[in-house]
Amino acid sequence: MSSRKMRRIVVTGAGGFIGHHLVKHLQSKGYWVRGVDLKMPEYEPSPADEFLQADLRFFEHCARAVQGVQDIYHLAADMGGIGYITSNHAALTRNNVLINSHMLEAARLGGIQRYLYTSSACVYPSFLQHETDVTPLSEEQAIPADPEKGYGWEKLFTEQLAAYYHEDHGLDVRIVRFHNIYGPLGTYEGGKEKAPAAICRKVAEA
């Protein structure tokens, strides 16, 4: 057995667009992968070695998800396009705070070796993005904070919480901030689609 196949990884949000593609990529590299999500992928079966349908708002589901793995790629979130995230501040924020805090604690208790948290460009202050000809944003520009209401605030909060888990408990945490990612097999209807996918659908329907 290869060293990669021996390494066991969990991908949360594996039923979503990015998570599904990540599972396929890790599988192609020879890793053992457990996918976790409320739902299965929409447009093709998951190639994960194991797929766990679970609600990560509940700690016991998070604890089950991390059993027997070394690495976590945490993508699970209540999210969608800008129309969705700007009209569901309370529910979305509550759901994601529960998911993220429970996953970090499950990782600590489970002795996870490496933890990747996927954040968002929504953490960046709106006052840096008023002009259409904006310069590229850098990591440190998220502070002073003025992120997107709801989704942006909970992402920025979880970045800090993840940093505390690194400082207090030695959890090896990495953070990435996604910027409007879209492509093949992405959601294009139902209210949670991103703008590019929605435009493509409307053009095709027309």
Q: Which residues are catalytic?
A: 151
- CA-wise closest residue to 137 among 180, 177, 80, 81: 177
Helix (H) or strand (E) holding 6: helix 3-6
Q: Alpha carbon of 49 to those of 32, 52, 103: distances in Å?
A: 6, 10, 21
> How far apart, in whole angstroms, are the C-alpha atoms of residue 6 and residue 72?
15
Q: Please name which of 22, 20, 38 lies closest in space to residue 116, comparing C-alpha atoms.
A: 22
Which pair of structure tokens corresponds to residue 59? 């700690």
Q: In what order do the strands lie in the sheet containing 71-74?
A: 50-53, 32-37, 8-12, 71-74, 114-120, 172-178
Assign 144 to helix, strand or coil. coil
Burial class (CB in 10 A: 0-12, 13-18, 19+), 90: exposed
Ramachandran angles phi, psi of 163, nearest 5°: -65, -40
